Amino acid sequence: MLKWLSSIFKSKSEILSETDIMKKFLVVGLGNIGAKYENTRHNIGFKVLDELSKSQEFTFEDAKLGAIASFKFKGKSILCLKPATYMNLSGKAVRYWMEKENIPLENVLIITDDINLSFGTIRLKTKGSDGGHNGLKDIQNTLQTATYNRFRFGVGADFGKGRQVDFVLGEWNGDEMQQMPERLKKATALILSFIFAGVKNTMNQFNGT
């Protein structure tokens, strides 16, 4: 009887451990390392995390498989990652830090560029295809699931046939740079909402704005 009861009721330390795990988040901005990629559309994930670091006053440090930073927000612990594996191998860094910090998949948010959305449009989804995006494709293959939170930042599709790579690896134009500060503030607000208010509330509030 006692053995059966002990299998049902978890110890206080086990409950606290699970509670602590659910308070930990991993926010990953996708991009390519190196100065030549810094201001390209494909690097919007890095750019959003840089804006978040300014608003929350934290700094990134080089670590295994990427640049890492952490901060606290309303009782939650947030780890931010800019993978150093280049876009096509993003999954390796995501999996490593998820496992190292024991962060559940539902508390992971991937920030990525999206040519299927007009510039500056933001959209949060909990699942979906990789849409031809090599970073998302590698994450999906590495984690063996297409069900993970992804924050899609629209970069538009102003390119001719066969010019997609040049477009996403190209730099922002003048009009986009003028609108960028407001869009980045909206993006950081979405991230903080995801952490504090949850994915469904955040989708309802921010999607399409």
Give residue 147's pLDDT.
Answer: 96
Give residue 15's pLDDT.
Answer: 42
Burial of residue 114 (number of CB atoms within 10 Å: 0-12, 13-18, 19+): buried
The whole-number average pLDDT for the span 69-92 is 95
Give residue 131's pLDDT.
Answer: 83
The whole-number average pLDDT for the span 111-140 is 94
Integer Cα distance of 45 and 175 in angstroms: 19
Q: How many residues does the chain have?
A: 209
Query: Which pLDDT band, with edges at 50, 70 and 90, does 19 fall under?
Result: low
Whether pLDDT at 3 is above 80: no
Of 53-62, 93-102, 129-138, the range with the lowest mean pLDDT is 129-138
CA 96 vs CA 7, 34, 81, 85, 195: distances in Å = 31, 22, 11, 12, 21
Whether pLDDT at 14 is above 70: no
Whether pLDDT at 192 is above 70: yes
Query: Which pLDDT band, with edges at 50, 70 and 90, does 122 fall under?
Result: very high
Whether pLDDT at 4 is above 50: no
Give residue 159's pLDDT.
Answer: 87
Give residue 5's pLDDT.
Answer: 45
**Secondary structure letter of residue 172 according to DSSP:** P
The whole-number average pLDDT for the span 25-33 is 97
pTM for this entry: 0.88
Give residue 90's pLDDT.
Answer: 96
Which residues are tagged catalytic?
42
Report CA torsion sign: 17, 191, 57, 41. positive
Integer Cα distance of 127 and 149 in angstroms: 6
Delimit the domains of the chain by residue range.
Answer: 16-206
Tokens of 3: 């053995």
Mean pLDDT of the chain: 90
Give residue 8's pLDDT.
Answer: 47
Q: Which of 48, 50, 138 is nearest to 95 (CA)?
A: 138
Mention the CATH class of domain 16-206.
alpha beta
**Secondary structure letter of residue 35 according to DSSP:** G
Query: Which pLDDT band, with edges at 50, 70 and 90, does 16 fall under?
Result: very low
